[in-house]
Amino acid sequence: AQSVTQLDSHVSVSEGTPVLLRCNYSSSYSPSLFWYVQHPNKGLQLLLKYTSAATLVKGINGFEAEFKKSETSFHLTKPSAHMSDAAEYFCVVSEPGGYQKVTFGTGTKLQVIP
Amino acid sequence: KAGVTQTPRYLIKTRGQQVTLSCSPISGHRSVSWYQQTPGQGLQFLFEYFSETQRNKGNFPGRFSGRQFSNSRSEMNVSTLELGDSALYLCASSLQGAGEQETQYFGPGTRLLVL
């Protein structure tokens, strides 16, 4: 069975400082991993996805994530936080199958302090 | 291409009533999944439809049902509403809904408030 753990429910950073949102996963297969962002009262928007092509994945809005198989981690980073990054972020694992086998993390709320 | 659309965006109902939510997937997408999002339980999978057939179902009572039409549009219905059904209901579409590399694209959600 697959699972995903987001290690921090809340992260607070100052504007202009780096962002690190942590995600660990468990899977019996070589999964695909995704990060989604949700702004207040909005749907989820895809930030980036890992599909085994490259371990360092670049996404939108300056975010990137590194897949580390030995650590079963897929942490999301950004060099410099912007006020507009304040949102909730979800790490998602997907396994192969005849239908969508997707598991969402519990989310990390990012606060950006001016 | 237009994104996933959901109607209505907001709903207020009273306990015991029923409600129908609608989702139009991205053109060409045949898989539609529904999720319930609440502050306490997070994102929970309701069900997934592909080619008018329910292919996968989460752990929700039978009051929650859905269907998919031949044009891939989907509806979900909740009967005998309870206070705990107040949530953001999200719809997501993907091409085939199979395989780990497929991306799900989410709609803006329907915010349901049950009084």
Residue A31, preceding peptide bond in cis (omega within 30° of 0): no
Of A43, A100, A107, the CB nearest to B90: A43
pLDDT at site B49: 93
10 Å CB burial of residue B70 (0-12, 13-18, 19+) is: exposed
Q: Is B66 on the interface with A (CB under 8 A)?
A: no
pLDDT at site A28: 80
Q: Is B68 on the interface with A (CB under 8 A)?
A: no
pLDDT at site B66: 96
Q: Is B42 on the interface with A (CB under 8 A)?
A: yes
Task: Give the span between the Cα atoms of A70 and A64, in whole angstroms.
Answer: 19
In the stretch 74-103 of chain A, residues with CB closer than 8 A to chain B read: 90, 94-102
Q: Dump pLDDT digits (tens) for B2-61.
A: 899 999 999 999 999 999 999 999 999 999 999 999 988 888 989 999 999 998 888 899
Count of helix runs (H) and strand runs (E) in chain B:
0, 11
Question: Sign (positive/negative) of CA torsion A45, B63, A100, B7?
Answer: negative
Q: Dump pLDDT digits (tens) for A38-51.
A: 998 788 999 999 98
Task: Give the span between the Cα atoms of B81 and B19, in whole angstroms.
Answer: 8
Chain A hits for B49, CB-CB cut-off 8 Å, are: none
Of A103 and A37, more confident: A37
Task: Please give the angle made by the CA atoms of B36, B41 and B45, to the nearest 5 degrees.
Answer: 35
pLDDT interval class at A2 (50, 70, 90)? confident
Q: Name the one residue in this structure whose structure tokens are 């949700």.
A: A38
Q: Is B25 on the interface with A (CB under 8 A)?
A: no
